[in-house]
């Protein structure tokens, strides 16, 4: 019996246990210690960010960055509609109102023109109805590793003086105009959950060039303890720091990050070659040399009328061969939980959700695994 093939399962580099062993040997079994410090330093070099706080999850990193930007109940925060719910949930944690903005077809990420329309409309509505609250932040995601159009997005954000948070949970190692993503705005957030391009089993990080903000994040993430011999608190704190044990896993994983990016890109090229003559199949693609994706997941869109099959038939064919594939993100404006939120849509994310599929993309899928995948694809598309 061959084993199930997953979308992207953990792929250890080999030296993770050395760092974990060091944590045990020195008894740093705590949410602080040499691996946490080392992982933060090494993440600075891996991303080009000046400062990094290692946290318990990417979601925690988004939550803390919104708190530090002063987001309060009744404020508006603009979020990308086409994304994983973790991009938007922290807005709701704070009682703020998510304003959902659709994607543009090139990158599948936030549409800069629609972003400006959303800002104008929300500001206009505020004046008309005198609704309290203001737009405090924009959260843009780099989905499946593809950088968003940051130059245009930052131009709009700067015009209206709104800070931007980059959700780079899926895009560690990706680059935009020669810079690693997460470093083109006020804050970047990373995730090291089990299925990401590198993993600590679970974890995240906040990255920024603002030293005071990262210091503040570390303070808030360790229960906001004021300097005093006893426990003294003037603000609400959180338990969001990364454990020194899992930071050891992260240090081992970072050593192979560049290799993993090369492997995921090679896998993406393999799919393109395999499907190059199939009509009605298109890939999420880099719109220009300014965009360099880690291709965490290879994603395709299937036009049923042209391709002779559809997304769901292909997904079930993979499933029958014990291979995991998954529809693209269901947009947040279609999620029951965000149904009442203001949304600015253009049809892009809905079309991607209807016809799009994430293909198995793990760097640990061997040649035999690829052959099983290829067989399903050849049968589905008759090539």
d(CA 231, CA 161): 38
Among residues 35, 191, 243, 293, which is the contact residue for ligand PLP, using CB under 6 A? 191
Q: Which stretch binds ligand PLP (CB under 6 A): 27-35, 82-90, 281-289, 343-351?
A: 82-90
Nearer to ligand PLP by C-beta: 90 or 248? 90
- Asked if residues 136 and 74 have their Cβ atoms less than 8 Å apart, the reply is no
Residue 61 Cβ vs ligand PLP, minimum distance, rounded to whole Å: 8
86 binds ligand PLP (CB under 6 A): yes
Sheet of strand 356-359: strand arrangement: 281-283, 298-302, 356-359, 326-327
Nearer to ligand PLP by C-beta: 150 or 376? 150
Nearer to ligand PLP by C-beta: 170 or 278? 170
d(CA 229, CA 331): 48
Q: E strands, the chain, where?
A: 51-55, 76-80, 97-101, 135-141, 164-167, 175-176, 179-180, 187-191, 204-208, 281-283, 291-292, 298-302, 326-327, 343-344, 356-359
250 binds ligand PLP (CB under 6 A): no
| 368 Cβ contact partners less than 8 Å away, ≥ 6 residues apart | 2
d(CA 76, CA 149): 22
204 binds ligand PLP (CB under 6 A): yes
Exposure string for 327-346, b = 16+ CB within 10 A, e = fewer: ebbbbbbbeeebeebbbbbb
Nearer to ligand PLP by C-beta: 86 or 358? 86
Nearer to ligand PLP by C-beta: 83 or 349? 83
Nearer to ligand PLP by C-beta: 92 or 374? 92
Nearer to ligand PLP by C-beta: 193 or 348? 193
Residue 58 Cβ vs ligand PLP, minimum distance, rounded to whole Å: 3
In whole angstroms, how far apart are CA 55 and each of 61, 94, 233, 377?
Answer: 7, 19, 20, 39
Q: Which stretch binds ligand PLP (CB under 6 A): 68-76, 84-92, 107-115, 316-324?
A: 84-92
Residue 246 Cβ vs ligand PLP, minimum distance, rounded to whole Å: 12
Among residues 6, 39, 82, 84, which is the contact residue for ligand PLP, using CB under 6 A? 84
58 binds ligand PLP (CB under 6 A): yes
* Phi, psi of 303, deg, nearest 5: -85, 105
Residue 203 Cβ vs ligand PLP, minimum distance, rounded to whole Å: 7
Q: Which stretch binds ligand PLP (CB under 6 A): 81-89, 149-157, 172-180, 261-269?
A: 81-89
Nearer to ligand PLP by C-beta: 48 or 194? 194
Nearer to ligand PLP by C-beta: 89 or 282? 89
105 CB neighbour count, 10 Å cutoff: 14
Nearer to ligand PLP by C-beta: 197 or 373? 197
Which candidate, 302, 358, 374, 345, places its Cα nearest to that of 146?
358
Q: Which stretch binds ligand PLP (CB under 6 A): 12-20, 53-61, 105-113, 276-284?
A: 53-61
173 binds ligand PLP (CB under 6 A): no
- Asked if residues 101 and 344 have their Cβ atoms less than 8 Å apart, the reply is yes
**What is the DSSP-derived secondary structure letter of residue 110?**
B
Binding string, residues 133-172; x marks residues near ligand PLP by CB under 6 A? --------x-------------------------x-xx--
> What residue number has its CB nearest to ligand PLP?
58
- Asked if residues 119 and 160 have their Cβ atoms less than 8 Å apart, the reply is yes
The burial class, CB within 10 Å (0-12 / 13-18 / 19+), for 229 is exposed
Give the total of residues touching ligand PLP (CB under 6 A): 14
**Which residue in the block uniquely carries the two structure tokens 């014990």?**
322
193 binds ligand PLP (CB under 6 A): yes
The residues of the shown chain that bind ligand PLP, judged by CB under 6 A, are: 57-59, 83-84, 86-87, 141, 167, 169-170, 191, 193, 204
């Amino acid at each position: 019996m061959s084993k199930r093939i997953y979308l992207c399962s953990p792929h250890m580099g080999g030296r993770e246990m050395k760092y974990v062993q060091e944590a045990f040997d020195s008894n740093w079994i705590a949410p602080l210690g040499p691996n946490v410090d080392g992982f933060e330093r090494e993440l600075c070099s891996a991303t080009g960010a000046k400062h990094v706080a290692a946290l318990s999850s990417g979601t925690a990193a988004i939550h803390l960055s919104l708190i530090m930007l002063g987001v309060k109940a009744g404020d508006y925060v603009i979020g990308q509609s086409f994304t994983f719910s973790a991009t938007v949930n922290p807005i709701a944690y704070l009682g703020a109102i998510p304003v959902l903005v659709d994607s543009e077809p090139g990158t599948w990420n936030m549409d800069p023109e629609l972003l400006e329309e959303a800002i104008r409309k929300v500001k206009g509505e505020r004046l008309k109805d005198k609704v309290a609250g203001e737009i405090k932040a924009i959260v843009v995601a780099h989905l499946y590793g593809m950088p968003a159009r940051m130059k245009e997005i930052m131009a709009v954000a700067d015009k209206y003086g709104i800070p931007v948070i980059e959700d780079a949970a899926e895009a560690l190692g990706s680059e935009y105009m020669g810079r690693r993503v997460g470093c083109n705005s006020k804050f970047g957030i990373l995730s090291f959950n089990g299925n990401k391009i590198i993993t600590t089993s679970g974890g995240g990080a906040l990255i920024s060039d603002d030293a005071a903000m990262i210091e503040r994040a570390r303070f808030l993430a360790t229960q906001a303890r004021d300097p005093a011999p006893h426990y003294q608190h003037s603000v609400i704190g959180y338990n969001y720091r990364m454990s020194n044990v899992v930071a050891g896993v992260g240090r081992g994983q970072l050593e192979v990050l560049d290799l993993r990016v090369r492997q995921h890109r090679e896998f993406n090229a393999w799919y393109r070659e395999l499907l190059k003559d199939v009509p009605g199949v298109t890939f999420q693609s880099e719109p220009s040399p300014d965009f360099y994706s880690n291709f965490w997941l290879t994603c395709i869109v299937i036009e049923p009328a042209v391709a002779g099959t559809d997304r769901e038939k292909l997904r079930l064919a993979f499933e029958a061969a014990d291979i995991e594939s998954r529809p693209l993100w269901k947009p947040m404006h279609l999620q029951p939980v965000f149904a009442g939120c203001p949304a600015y849509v253009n049809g892009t994310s809905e079309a991607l959700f209807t016809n799009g599929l994430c293909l198995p993309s793990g760097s640990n899928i061997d040649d035999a695994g690829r052959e099983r995948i290829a067989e399903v694809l050849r049968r589905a598309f008759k090539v």
